[in-house]
Structure 1
Amino acid sequence: MPTEPLPDWVPTRRRAIGDRVRAARVAARLTQEEVAGRCGLDRKTVNRLEQGHTSPLLDHLLLIADAIGVDLADLVRG
């Protein structure tokens, strides 16, 4: 973690990624619980990611993209 405060665009972009994860999940007609179960993650982890409250691990994003059936690039492309 950087010692300096993060630039404002970082949390903004993190929220945008969360919004895309949520939109892809809803489009796939999956609940947070279903995505979490497919990934071996906790539902709260999926929720925090969608809300932009936490910085997602790349591994988690890869698992979630696979569980939803979308390319990782679709979730992170700005």
Structure 2
Amino acid sequence: MLTERRAVGERIRAARITANLTQEAVALAAETDRPSVVRIERGQQSPTLDTLIRLARAIGVPLAELVG
């Protein structure tokens, strides 16, 4: 599971960077905190489905793009 969690985190980070957004901006729009975004991007934290949906909306990408 760690490998998959890291892959999801990498996709979130790549999408965020492509969208030219900071972790702080994404966290604010997704109604979470920056440390959580950092941990999710590093694969250190498993986000809930609700958090994934909010992150996808904050970044402006389909949820499927993040979970691949």
TM-score norm. by structure 2 comes to: 0.98
Flag structure 1 segments of 5+ consecutive residues without an equivalent: 1-9
Name whichever structure is richer in helix by fraction: 2
Flag structure 2 segments of 5+ consecutive residues without an equivalent: none
Amino acid at match of 2:56: A
Which of 48, 66, 69 is the matching residue for 2:57?
66
Which of 48, 58, 68 is the matching residue for 1:57?
48
Instruction: State how far apart, in whole Å, the 1-side matches of 2:31 and 2:65 are.
Output: 21
Task: Work out whether 1:17 is the aligned partner of 2:3.
Answer: no
Greater RCO, 1 or 2 (C-alpha within 8 Å, sep 6+): 2
Task: Work out whether 1:42 is the aligned partner of 2:50.
Answer: no
Instruction: State how far apart, in whole Å, the 2-side matches of 1:55 and 1:66 are.
Output: 18
TM-score norm. by structure 1 comes to: 0.85
Larger Rg belongs to = 1
Amino acid at match of 1:41: T
Q: Percent sequence identity over matched residues?
A: 54
CA deviations on 1:7-62 (whole Å, 9 max, x unpaired) are: xxx11000000000000000000000000011110000100000000111111100
How many residues matched?
68
CA RMSD between the two structures: 0.4
